[in-house]
Every structure is written in structure tokens, then in C-alpha cells.
Amino acid sequence: AVCSMGNSTSRLYSVLAKTLSSGAVSQHQDCLEQLDSAQPDPIDPKDLLEECQIVLQKRPPRFQRNFVSLKKNTASNHRPIRVMQWNILAQALGEGKDNFVQCPMEALKWEERKCLILEEILAYKPDILCLQEVDHYFDTFEPLLSRLGYQCTFFPKPWSPCLDVERNNGPDGCAMFFLKERFELVSSANIRLTAMKLKTNQVAIAQTLKCHETGRLFCIAVTHLKARTGWERFRSAQGCDLLQNLKNITQGAKIPLIVCGDFNAEPTEEVYREFSNSSLNLNSAYKLLSPDGQSEPPYTTWKIRPSGECRHTLDYIWYSQHALNVNSALGLLTEEQIGPNRLPSFNYPSDHLSLVCDFSFNQDPDRLL
């Protein structure tokens, strides 16, 4: 493995066009640890976007989505905090396990699909990025996003299903990235979720950040709960464990909280009700897109498997409604945009839609507690 991140004037093609083999990942990780003390050479996001578009020139253009303004008549004296939540689809699972019967294997080629993922991230320029099913952290996301100014954290699943796939790239897990120019890391916790007192294969990352502009503290968490029908009680137990951890970290809601995740649970499930009714006073940001502000979107994932078509709402951005306002949220893809073969596709790299919200701090958060 070549241990070179290049310099700020070099083209990024070598990073984008090559994906390290799983055998090289450990060497690459050692290399990254050696470089950890040194500041990585910055790259211009416009240069990276241009490189992505060169790789993607034979693919159809990316879908256009618009932000919906949700801001009430509450003045904010600081720049909004943009948070992006996305299950990006682990490469090993997409190619080796998920059986997207209407998606050509050609559309799942990592060399191009990673550019679609990066293009989506670069288009929305999140201050904080929360990802699930990340199995190319060390060879793609950490090297590139660190050079874009993000501080990066990764927590893999202990028994990732990616490891069952031949020629995998290591375990998948949750990853969190925040812009160092906007935030300072105060504390960080990697949480292995428990259910019925048993440690499970699902994980979470929770970080307390200090906003440079306002001096305010807040906690951001990312998680990915157990999938599949029949595991509703298990997800409920995992959700309870995560909420208890977050209560401790936020000192019982004294510190504002944002929780991003693929909960693998429809709004009818118990784990959704636990988050809705928690003493942390959480609300789901994407409900605010509905006419009454009370209904989740009709879908956040839409795919076709051998068992049939799956259209579900599973992904959420929860937030402390006493301390934070949702200024705007990114609208979802329409059925027409998604197309009859559903997701993933040549147009879109994942079976889950990205969610993006702009948050601002309330001026008087304690009044609403």
C-alpha cells in the first residue's frame, strides 16, 4: 500500500479511482495513525467535486432536491448548523447480500458509487455528517473528509455482516464527521448497544461539541438499530439503552441533543414511541415537512428485493425541541425521480435517502423544559 495523501495542488484521481483491497486496509490504517499527529493537506471541495464528476460523466446527472424553509418568526444570531443523516449502503452488502433485483451490478461498482456518495455530501456541505453502513472508512471517507476539514470518528459493528462477503473491505459501522472550524470536541463515547442485558451487534457514537460561534454545548449522536421484521422488541430494548446513555451524557437534557440514525423502525413501532415520549423532549425533524407537522414522510427507503417491493420510513433526525429550532429540511426524492426500478440506481448510490436539516439554538431553552 502506498502511504501518500498527496499535496494540496495534486489531482485527487489516485484517491478516487482506486479502492484498497481488504488486505491493504490494515497497512493503510497504520499509515493513517502515523499521520495522525500531522495536519493533513487540505483540499478544495470544488476540486474534489470536479474529480467526482469526471468519474461520473457517463452516468445520469444527480437528482435535484430543494430545501423547505421551516423557520418560524424567531430570530437567530448565529449561522445555522447543517446536519446530514445517511445510510450510504455498505459496499459488501450492496454487491454481496442485499439482492437489489432491479439494480444492475454495474451501478454498484465502488469506483463510481463512492463518487456518487461524495457528490451528495459535497452538494449539501454539512457541518456535521452522520453515516451508517460505512465499510470504506479508512481508505475513502477518513482520508478525504479529514482533508476537507472534518474531524472523523468510526465505530464498527462487532460482528458485521460484511465480513461474511468474499473480498470484503472489513466491517461496516457508524461514522461521524464534524467541521473543526465550527466545533470543538468536548467528549466522545462509543456505545455498544445492549438489549435484555446482552451486548448486541449494533452501535452508536455520541459526541459533545462546543460551537465556536456561540460557545454553546450540544450532543450529536449517530446509530443504526437492528434490522428485519420480528425484531421489534429487540429494537425497543436497544432504543431504551441508547436513550439512557444519552440522558447521562446530556445531564438529563441540560445539553441540547441531536440523534441521527437508521432505526429500522416505522413510526408505528415501540422504539419510535420511546423516542417521542422520552424525558429528553425530542421531536423528529422531518415531521415538520408534513402539513400538520405531525406525520413522518411516506418513505426514506425504497427498494425491490426478491421478496418484493419495500417502501418504508426508517431514518430519522431527532432533536431537543426546547433548545433547538429546525430552520429548514431537505425535501425527499419524488416517486418519479426514484423511477420504477427504485433504489439504488445509476442515479442514486444508496437504498436510503439522505436527510439534511439546518438547526439553530433557541435563545431561551430553559423556558420550554
Q: For 83-132, what is each residue's pLDDT tens digit? A: 999 999 999 999 998 889 999 999 999 999 999 999 999 999 999 999 99
Query: Distance (Å, rounded) from C-alpha 272 to C-alpha 30?
Result: 40
Q: Does the structure show a pLDDT above 70 at 8?
A: no
Domain boundaries, the chain: 79-361
Q: What is the pLDDT of residue 87?
A: 98
Task: For residue 227, report the phi and psi dihedrals to the nearest 5 degrees.
Answer: -90, 175
Q: What is the mean pLDDT of residues 224-233?
A: 96
Q: Pick the residue with more confidence: 30 or 94?
A: 94
For 3, 49, 253, 347, the CA distances from 154, given in Å and listed in that order, are: 20, 23, 25, 27
Confidence at 234, pLDDT banded by 50, 70, 90: very high
Q: Does the structure show a pLDDT above 70 at 368?
A: no
Helix residue spans in the chain (DSSP H)? 13-17, 22-35, 45-55, 91-96, 110-124, 142-147, 232-249, 270-276, 335-338
- In eight-state DSSP terms, residue 21 is -
**C-alpha cell of residue 145:** 473528509
Greatest alpha-carbon span in the chain: 56
| DSSP-based three-state secondary structure for 216 | coil
Superfamily classification of domain 79-361: Endonuclease/exonuclease/phosphatase (3.60.10.10)
Closest CA to 190 of 179, 172, 177, 176: 176
